[in-house]
Amino acid sequence: MKKLTGLLAVLAAAFCASAMAQEFTSVEAIEQDGTYVDAFNIQGEYLWPAKNRAFQVIARGADKFDVVGYQDGLPGNGWDRGKARFFASAELKDGKLVLAPQRMHIPRKGEDADLIFNDEQKATPMSAEIKDGKYILNFGGEIELQKVDRESETLGMKAPEGAIVLFDGKDCGWFDGKFNLSDAQENAFWSEARFKPFERGKSYTLHIEFMLSFMPNATGQARSNSGVYIQEEYECQVLDSFGLEGENNECGGFYQQLKPEVNMCFPPLTWQTYDFEVTPAKYENGEKVANAKIVVKHNGVKIHDAELEHETPGGKNEKSEATETTGRGLYLQGHGNKVQYRNVWIKYND
């Protein structure tokens, strides 16, 4: 029994160690740790202007990376779901990022086709490095790339006249429940937070800015997870989904209902924006007569223009809203990660 207990303790410790992935909330914290400086600096978005191609490099822990290549530019800036993508795994070796091509995804009418590379193609020499201060891709010759840091066109947008400022970094009067300002960036707070109810039935514009933590060893839903619950009912996911497919459980998706038209998630530790146009569901005599409608821009690019048929998991029940006399507000989900929020405001449209 002692041997079994000891083995279970070792396994439990190993599981906990893997589950407790390092979480960085600032560049300074990464530099102080030192372990992930290279991974953080390599991760990001790159352009190959001569061929109108683009790449996203995603840190996956240790010296491992994923690489996604896009036809006609970056997501939301040339590339859309109807265009081809290239996928590779990569590893940092002796200062070079050595790529192993895996597959091409080629959308076709009525079907999506993956072209899996054979062993010879996977062994094609392909690497990247910083040379003389320039980003160089070695692929049948040296190709100069440009690293880009995109910024949302609505970043820092001030609340217009007549808007209600839910949080401006100072006034916390609209908070209804717990929130945490400690150790956050200036004028920001950590999730979670609940805001007082809005006026019942009124459509409105909602602006939110958020920053994801850098968690290179985490995967899936453990990678800087939070969520924006519109009307406290419909969750628009907040997650480090940089470089992923863009599903309904990834950043910009509404759980089990809607996936974003394009994955507009920027790399972690970049301030990002959500801009919502919300038309609440309509009720008559205790019954819903019209679904909620939502238009969402993520980092300035429209990713949704749709109806929400019902609440998402974890949200307040839609049916109970039919008999309520007051409106519902906004809930920012606490999911154990330090996602930061700032510059939160709404403006009624009528």
- How confident is the model at residue 2, as a pLDDT? 40
Cα–Cα distance measured from residue 296 to residue 180, given in angstroms and rounded to the nearest whole number:
26
Phi then psi dihedrals of residue 304, to 5 deg: -145, 145
Is 80 exceeded by the pLDDT of residue 198? Answer: yes
Residue with the two structure tokens 């100072």: 170
Structural domains in the chain, CATH included, are 20-148 (2.40.128), 164-348 (2.60.120.560)
How far is 197 from 181, CA to CA, in rounded Å?
22
Q: pLDDT tens digits, residue range 79-92?
A: 999 999 999 999 99
The answer to whether 314 and 235 have CB atoms below 8 angstroms apart is yes
| pLDDT in the model for residue 347 | 98
**What share of the chain has pLDDT > 70, as a percent?**
93
Pairing of strands 78-79, 74-75: parallel
Residues 6+ apart with CB under 8 A from 108: none
Backbone angles phi, psi at 49, to 5 degrees: -60, -40
Whole-model pTM? 0.91
Instruction: Convert the pLDDT of each residue in 326-337 to its tens digit.
Output: 889 999 998 889
On the 0-12 / 13-18 / 19+ scale of CB atoms within 10 A, 96 is: middle
Q: Across all residues in the chain, what is the average pLDDT?
A: 90
Calpha distance 45→69 (Å, rounded): 10
Model confidence at 280: pLDDT above 60: yes
Element (H, E) at 146: strand 142-148
Q: How many residues does the chain have?
A: 350
Which residues partner with 206 through β-bridges? 276, 346
Residue among 260, 251, 243 nearest 54 (CA): 243
Average pLDDT of the residues in 25-50: 95
Condensed to tens digits (0 to 9), the pLDDT of residues 137-159 reads 999 899 999 999 999 999 999 99
Structure tokens at 132: 């003389």
HSE-CB at 310 with a 13 A cutoff on CA atoms is 5
The H or E element spanning position 294 is strand 292-298
Query: What are the tens digits of pLDDT across the range 227-275?
Result: 999 999 999 999 999 999 999 999 999 999 999 999 999 999 999 999 9
Per-residue pLDDT, 6: 43
Cis peptide before 142 (omega within 30 of 0): no
For residue 298, pLDDT beyond 90: yes
Count the neighbouring beta carbons within 10 Å of the beta carbon of residue 98: 19
Q: Smallest Cα–Cα separation from 263: which of 271, 255, 254, 253?
A: 253
